[in-house]
Structure 1
Amino acid sequence: MADNEVEVEIPIEENGDNGDDQTMGEAEAEATAAPEDDPTGLENIEPAVPEHVTFLDCLRSPIVELVVGTGADATILSAHQGLLTSSPFFAEACAQFDERSQPRRIELPNDDLSATSSVLEYLYKGDYFPTITNQAMEYDSTVPHPDNEGVALLRHARVYILAKRLELPKLATLAHRKIHLTQSTAKGEIEYARFVYRETSAEDNIRRPVAQFWATRSHVLRHEAEQEFKRMCLEYPQFGFDVLSLVLDAQEKRSSRAEVVSSGTSSGRKRQRMI
């Protein structure tokens, strides 16, 4: 008869090997898990929404004084800083102010008062007088008739130049559009052309429409303002060259079309032989 087998139970200690294995597994899992503070790459999926600035917020902003002109001719205009800063030029100037800046003042010694007023009117209203209604300019009683001095054209031209300097492209576009809708005379157009060629660079797009205007109408307009046209060409030779170039381009195109019609084919221009 065999001996009775005795079963011996070995108690598992809580801090035994098995417990250690379990603890180590949990530690490794925690170590490999991404910390909550580490970036996951999902932070920028939804872009941040810029804070909406209302018109009321602009009206609550500090008042800034614009000193236009110098000496006894200087005029102080006031505007809210929140509206001025839509211009990068004014935004940079306002960045120099702090809580102790009293008054907040920006000097504009060389700017035109009327043009500066039109800029402020645009910043507050989104337009300036005279406005455009149904593709026509609002009546302006301050413009003489006939406008031989180019008063209306120069008003918008000065706004255009100032808008470019203040980095307000939409205002510059608006002023340019008003220039094209303004009625004037040949003498007024010459005054406008003189201002444009004096105040702008050769790269400015506003010059070409001026030269184009005179190139297409010079055969009529020069009889109305022949002496003024002559003085303009002598004072600004680039103006005369631009007009002449456009006239010659138009003449060359007409000649090319005439050659095509007469010959039935297009041919290059040949130099005449000397015999």
Structure 2
Amino acid sequence: MAEEFQEEPVELQSTNPGADVEMAEGEEAEATAPRNGDGDLPFAEGGDQDQRIQFISYLTSPVVTLVVGAGDTETILTAHQGLLTQSPFFSDACAAFTDDGSPRQVDLVSEELDAVGCFLEFLYTGDYFPKKLPGQRMLEQDPTIPAVDETGEQLLKHARVYTLAEKFGMEKLRSLASSKIHCVNSTAKGEITYARYIYQYTSKDDTTVRAPVANFWATRSHTLRAEAEEEFRNLCLEFPQFGYDVLTRVLDEKLKRERNEKLHPASGSVRKRPRHSQA
């Protein structure tokens, strides 16, 4: 995604994930955790001793089973309830659990495994891979993926985390994912794939991710059209709101230029009649 459209990147730094901690069934001490996703994360840099003690209380909370996907793609994950309940979504789900020995399970059959994994990584560490390089609009290198996102998969990774964070009520994770989107170097076809996902899975009022997409195509569609003209046309037909948003920005920019020209006319801009040679 073009860097021009990132307003203020959110910088979140943290340590790498620690080892998994096994908990016995009887250890069900409830942890006191923020319920709105805006509290201090346990591994936040500069954390004091009280934060570390609080993190121990997270680890002594009950373990919750997460069933991600369905059928052949079904995967079982586990996480500590004290951390999960930082999300209003999971806070509500965990409130229905009882202490009678019945399973503590939340079904996430429609979610992507990688996005849920990034969500859990963020809960435990305050970030998810790949992390942003300090002071730069770049992500750390992942040797398993190409430097240029030609398919849109790298953009989709962060877009899925963004929409999942919105569903789970995790504003800091939502902002972090948005900032990482603008660090991905992609092609026109990759941007088309990303734009289709954004206009399919985000609300009309979500200007955080929709506005940069529309701005990108409004300012660059004339140069990128040769690379993905058919895909761009199909996207406009599939999502008329996308076409309207792009057109609106093109017309707004044209009107802005015309106003500037009236307020600040360029010297020598008056056209002269052409001179004709005389025999």
Deviations 1:20-75 (A, max 9, x none): xxxxxxxxxxxxxxxxxxxxxxxxxxxxxxx9771101111111000011123211
Aligned equivalents of 2:173, 2:94: Cα separation in 1 = 20
> Paired residue for 2:238?
235
| Matched-pair contact (CA < 8 Å) for 2:150–2:187 | yes
CA positional deviation for 1:181: 1.2
Structure 1 position 210 matched with structure 2 position 225:
no
> Paired residue for 2:76?
76
Q: Secondary structure at the match of 1:54?
A: helix
> Paired residue for 1:61?
61
1:89-238 equivalence runs, <5 A: 89-134=89-134, 135=136, 136-205=138-207, 206-238=209-241
Structure 1 position 250 matched with structure 2 position 253:
yes
Aligned equivalents of 2:142, 2:110: Cα separation in 1 = 26
Q: Secondary structure at the match of 1:123?
A: helix
Read off the aligned partner of 2:158 and give its amino acid letter: H
Aligned equivalents of 2:148, 2:127: Cα separation in 1 = 26
Aligned equivalents of 2:148, 2:118: Cα separation in 1 = 23
Aligned equivalents of 1:175, 1:91: Cα separation in 2 = 22
Deviations 1:3-32 (A, max 9, x none): xxxxxxxxxxxxxxxxxxxxxxxxxxxxxx
| Matched-pair contact (CA < 8 Å) for 1:143–1:151 | no
1:178/1:263 CA distance change after superposition, 3 Å: closer
Aligned equivalents of 2:172, 2:101: Cα separation in 1 = 31
Deviations 1:193-251 (A, max 9, x none): 00000001111122111101111111111121111111111111110110011011001
Alignment TM-score, normalising by the size of structure 2: 0.73
- RMSD over aligned CA atoms reads 1.7
Read off the aligned partner of 1:209 and give its amino acid letter: P
Read off the aligned partner of 2:166 and give its amino acid letter: K
> Paired residue for 1:21?
none
| Matched-pair contact (CA < 8 Å) for 1:67–1:109 | yes
CA positional deviation for 1:143: 2.5
Read off the aligned partner of 1:86 and give its amino acid letter: Q
CA positional deviation for 1:263: 9.2
Residue ranges of structure 2 left out of the alignment (5+ in a row):
1-49, 268-279
CA positional deviation for 1:139: 1.0
Aligned equivalents of 1:189, 1:68: Cα separation in 2 = 27
Write out the 4+ residue segments of structure 1 that deviate beyond 6 Å after TM superposition: none
Aligned equivalents of 1:243, 1:263: Cα separation in 2 = 29
Aligned equivalents of 2:266, 2:86: Cα separation in 1 = 60
Residue ranges of structure 1 left out of the alignment (5+ in a row):
1-50, 265-275
Alignment TM-score, normalising by the size of structure 1: 0.74
| Matched-pair contact (CA < 8 Å) for 1:115–1:159 | yes
CA positional deviation for 1:145: 4.8
Q: Secondary structure at the match of 2:78?
A: strand
Read off the aligned partner of 1:176 and give its amino acid letter: S
